[in-house]
């Protein structure tokens, strides 16, 4: 049986060789009865990552390399790798050495015991305080609509062939990996782990990319934003009715509800702000509908070395 590894690469020069060594060591020591395949997908790196991946391919025919024309994002790189992976099971693993390869035998064991998806989820991470806080907030929001998602999220996953085929059949833009995987409903086993500290290179996963992925997750995987807008509109309308009643009562009693324009301006600014936020959320949905209609590919491949 063959196990494929998909590694999304973006400015990971120096880490790819170590990632390769960790994976191959696991197979030489613990998984000798299995074949392996490693698919490196270069997401438009401007350093020597592609050269390093191609050098690994020259020394090992089990290594495949895909190169994009430019940077399309981690999700696009994962999708390209998933479509080229040929194994009986496919493992998505990071290129920055933060996912412990030592868990691979345990993942394979659970797969052989009947799990169709094996998810290694983060219970802690060796990241900055700001990254931890953003992660806690983001997954707290996501779990309100997708309670199956572990609190720390996940990317390090083993998928059975039929799970991989189902995942590849989903043809939409702005994919949310975790949501799509859990949506499929296959038998899932969870393994907790502590995400390791990055030792080589600098993370390219900046706040802008984190925010974009968060919006993709919320808007793609749930109706939470629309329902929040509806609820806010209902509450605001009810408050408006109550306030109108109080004004009428005060007028009938000959009283002035307020002096000056300050309270009126506060109400106008608050309601106007809420309307702008609501329009922004609706605009996000309209833009995504437009992206779906245009049917542009998620990525463009320059070269394949298979």
List the chain pLDDT tens, one digit each, 306 residues.
999 999 999 999 989 999 999 999 999 999 999 999 999 999 999 999 999 999 999 999 999 999 999 999 889 999 999 999 999 999 999 988 888 899 999 999 999 999 999 999 888 766 666 666 767 777 677 776 777 888 778 889 999 999 999 999 988 877 788 888 988 889 999 999 887 776 665 655 556 666 666 666 666 666 667 767 777 777 777 777 777 777 677 767 766 655 655 567 667 777 777 787 777 778 777 777 777 777 788 899 999 998
* The pLDDT of residue 85: 96
Residue entry with tokens 């693993």: 93
Q: CA 50 to CA 63: how far, in whole Å?
A: 13
Q: CA 224 to CA 57: how far, in whole Å?
A: 45
Q: How far is CA 55 from the centre of its chain?
A: 29
CB atoms within 10 A of CB 124: 11
Max distance between CA atoms of the chain, in angstroms, equals 91
Q: CA 94 to CA 19: how far, in whole Å?
A: 8
Nearby residues of 161 by Cβ (< 8 Å), 6 or more positions away: 87, 88, 89, 90
Q: CA 174 to CA 298: how far, in whole Å?
A: 8
Select from 40, 49, 29, 133 the least CA-distant residue to 80. Answer: 40
Residue ranges with strand state E in 109-204 = 117-125, 154-160, 188-195
Nearby residues of 65 by Cβ (< 8 Å), 6 or more positions away: 39, 40, 41, 42, 50, 53, 54, 57, 303, 304, 305
Structure tokens at 221: 């995987």
Q: Tell me the C-alpha to C-alpha distance, in Å, between residue 108 and each of 114, 136, 141, 159.
A: 10, 29, 31, 10
Question: How many C-alpha atoms does 105 have within 13 Å on its Cβ side?
Answer: 12
CATH T-level fold of 2-222+297-305:
Spore Coat Polysaccharide Biosynthesis Protein SpsA; Chain A (3.90.550)
Task: Compute the C-alpha angle 132/167/303, nearest 5°.
Answer: 90
- Per the CB < 8 A criterion, the answer to whether 4 and 90 are in contact is yes
State phi, psi for 300 to the nearest 5 degrees.
-125, 125
Tell me the Cα Rg of the chain.
Answer: 24
């Amino acid at each position: 049986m063959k196990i494929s590894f998909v590694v999304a690469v973006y400015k990971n020069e120096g880490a790819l060789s170590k990632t390769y060594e960790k994976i191959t060591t696991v197979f030489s020591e613990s998984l000798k009865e299995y074949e392996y395949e490693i698919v490196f997908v270069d997401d438009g790196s401007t350093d020597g990552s592609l050269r390093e991946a191609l050098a690994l391919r020259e020394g090992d025919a089990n290594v495949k390399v895909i190169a994009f024309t430019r940077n399309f994002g981690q999700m696009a790189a994962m999708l390209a790798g998933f479509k080229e992976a040929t194994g009986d099971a496919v493992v998505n693993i990071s290129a920055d050495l933060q996912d412990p390869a030592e868990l691979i035998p345990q993942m394979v064991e659970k797969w052989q015991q009947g799990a169709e998806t094996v998810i290694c989820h983060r219970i802690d991470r060796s990241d900055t305080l700001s990254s931890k806080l953003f992660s806690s907030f983001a997954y707290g929001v996501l779990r309100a609509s997708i309670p199956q998602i572990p609190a720390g999220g996940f990317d390090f996953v083993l998928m059975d062939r039929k799970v991989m085929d189902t995942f590849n059949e989903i043809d939409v833009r702005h994919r949310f990996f975790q949501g799509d995987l859990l949506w499929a409903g296959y038998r899932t086993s969870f393994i907790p782990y502590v995400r390791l500290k990055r030792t080589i290179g600098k993370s390219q996963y900046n706040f802008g990319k984190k925010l974009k992925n968060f919006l993709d997750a919320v808007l793609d995987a749930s109706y939470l934003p629309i329902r929040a807008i509806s609820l806010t509109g209902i509450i605001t309308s009810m408050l408006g009715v109550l306030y109108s009643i109080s004004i009428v009562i005060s007028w009938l009693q000959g009283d002035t509800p307020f002096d000056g324009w300050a309270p009126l301006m506060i109400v106008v600014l608050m309601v106007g702000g809420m309307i702008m936020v609501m329009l922004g959320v609706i605009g996000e949905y309209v833009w995504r509908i437009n992206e779906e209609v245009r049917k542009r590919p998620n990525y463009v491949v320059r070269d394949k070395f298979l």
